[in-house]
Amino acid sequence: MIPMLDLRREFLDIEDEVVAAVIEVLKGTRYVLGPEVEAFERQLAKYHGLSHCAGVGSGTGALFLSLASLPISPGDEVITTPFTFFATVESIMYVGAKPVFADIDTRTLNIDVDLIEEKITDKTKAILPVHLFGLPCNMKRIMELAKKYNLYVIEDCAQSFGSSIDGKLTGTFGSAGCFSFYPSKNLGCYGDGGAVVTDNKEMYENILALRNHGSRGNYIHSVVGFNSRLDEIQAAILLIKLKKVESNNAMRRENAAIYTSLLSSAVMCPDIPMGYTSNYHQFTIRSPHRNKIKDALHEADVSSVVYYPVPMHLQKPLEQFGYRKGDFPVAETASEEVLSLPVYPGLSQEAIGRIAEVIKKCL
Ligand SMILES: Cc1ncc(COP(=O)(O)O)c(C=O)c1O
């Protein structure tokens, strides 16, 4: 059986360090918003070359609190991609705004920057690009539009930790970068976790209050906030895993290069524009014979997953906005053709060869 991920192997690699760190936290008895969270926030801000980082309860919390920290009110609009995980859209709807979609680029599967400008209205407050599967969006064009129309840019970096354009990391282009540390992410903890990185002091201070019931911990509440805090155990684990993330990302890139050399004649492989670096959170192929490939892999005991089978505009909670099938045809076709293959660090070259053989044989 070849799984999508091998989290057990990753854990066994760092077991002693993790166990020691967790025991220290348990003995220290500061379990929420303590020194480990502060140390991790400092490290993450430094890693991104930014002034601020706020640890929060999840990637969804990072997105939602970033939007909530801005002057966005019910009825406002936020432009995003229809091809993403549902949390992107949920976070927009939590603040009462309308998710306005621009279709995706068929090559990169990210928001098509040529389609954003026509979606901007006097209600548009922000653009929320998602660096899907680890590939950065065209941030140069997005930031030009944001500047021209005076819009905020909240980057959904849940899948793009360590990805960059000409060496500049995702999360450092817009007003804020939002990360998820869900266990399967490139930097994952052993539960839920997330963080916002930003150079915007006002947003940062708003988020510090919003994550903790609208208070900085002194029982004086400036706004109605939420409970979305990174806990000390997860922060201690993340500090250890942060040291490994770059070598793990490099292993994913090596695996992706092997897949591409074996498969590019048979299926569409990820197309990385010049100067862009993907962390290959997913290695996602495209083929009109997607279902046949998936079945053949299943028969051969190889895991594969369809991220994502239904684009956002066709999800039930969005019916209220009146979107219809056919509105975003590129995203709709992608959802019928994509398939993500195992690409995790530690996956053997032999396993990649076997997976490629199964795919080529079935076609
Ligand atoms: C693109 C994207 N955005 C947001 C999220 C939400 O992150 P979390 O599960 O940590 O809330 C995820 C991941 O799950 C994601 O893949």
* CATH number of residue 200's parent domain: 3.40.640.10
Final residue before a domain boundary, out of 242, 261, 293: 242
Structure tokens of 173? 């282009």
Q: Give residue 259's pLDDT.
A: 98
| 320 occurs within a structural domain | yes
Residues 309 and 170 in one domain: no
Q: Give residue 300's pLDDT.
A: 98
Residues 137 and 257 in one domain: no
| 1 occurs within a structural domain | no
Residues 271 and 231 in one domain: no
Residue 205 has pLDDT above 90, yes or no: yes
Q: How far is the CA of 321 from the centre of ligand 1 (A)?
A: 23
pLDDT in tens, 275-299: 999 999 999 999 999 999 999 999 9
Q: Integer distance in angstroms from the first to the last C-alpha of the chain?
A: 21
| 61 occurs within a structural domain | yes
State percent of the chain over pLDDT 90.
Answer: 99
State percent of the chain over pLDDT 70.
Answer: 100
Q: How does residue 79 score in pLDDT terms, banded at 50, 70 and 90? A: very high
For residues 304-327, give the mean pLDDT: 98
Q: What is the mean pLDDT of the chain?
A: 98
CATH code at 309? 3.90.1150.10
Q: Give residue 181's pLDDT.
A: 98
**219: burial class by Cβ within 10 Å (0-12, 13-18, 19+)?**
exposed
For residues 138-164, give the mean pLDDT: 98
Residues 41 and 61 in one domain: yes
Beta strand 338-341 with 168-169 is unpaired
| 214 occurs within a structural domain | yes
Residue 28 has pLDDT above 90, yes or no: yes
Structural domain count, the chain: 2
Residues 233 and 251 in one domain: no
For residues 41-66, give the mean pLDDT: 98
- The reply to whether ligand 1 has any atom less than 6 angstroms from the CB of 194 is yes
Q: Which of 111, 159, 179, 281 to mutate to test the pocket of ligand 1 (most atoms within 8 A of CB)?
A: 159
Q: Give residue 85's pLDDT.
A: 98
Q: How does residue 241 score in pLDDT terms, banded at 50, 70 and 90? A: very high
Q: Give residue 218's pLDDT.
A: 87
SS3 55: strand
Q: Give residue 227's pLDDT.
A: 97
Residues 254 and 162 in one domain: no
Residues 271 and 233 in one domain: no
Q: Could you tell me the CA-to-CA distances from 23 to 9, 19, 42, 309 in Å, in that order?
A: 21, 6, 22, 41
pLDDT in tens, 167-202: 999 999 999 999 999 999 999 999 999 999 999 999
| 74 occurs within a structural domain | yes
Q: Give residue 191's pLDDT.
A: 98
For residues 127-154, give the mean pLDDT: 98
Residues 148 and 205 in one domain: yes
Q: Could you tell me the CA-to-CA distances from 120 to 144, 214, 284, 298 in Å, in that order?
A: 13, 31, 30, 44
- The reply to whether ligand 1 has any atom less than 6 angstroms from the CB of 135 is no
- The reply to whether ligand 1 has any atom less than 6 angstroms from the CB of 158 is yes
**217: burial class by Cβ within 10 Å (0-12, 13-18, 19+)?**
exposed
Q: Which domain holds residue 30?
A: 7-102+110-242
Final residue before a domain boundary, out of 242, 265, 286: 242
Q: How does residue 216 score in pLDDT terms, banded at 50, 70 and 90? A: confident
Residues 220 and 251 in one domain: no
Final residue before a domain boundary, out of 242, 269, 293: 242
Q: Which of 89, 180, 231 to mutate to test the pocket of ligand 1 (most atoms within 8 A of CB)?
A: 180
| 296 occurs within a structural domain | yes
Q: How far is the CA of 60 from the centre of ligand 1 (A)?
A: 6
Residues 143 and 273 in one domain: no
Residues 201 and 306 in one domain: no
Residue 217 has pLDDT above 90, yes or no: no
Model pTM above 0.95: yes
| 234 occurs within a structural domain | yes
| 2 occurs within a structural domain | no
Q: Give residue 326's pLDDT.
A: 98
pLDDT in tens, 156-171: 999 999 999 999 999 9
Residues 197 and 50 in one domain: yes
Q: Which of 4, 58, 60, 279 to mutate to test the pocket of ligand 1 (most atoms within 8 A of CB)?
A: 60
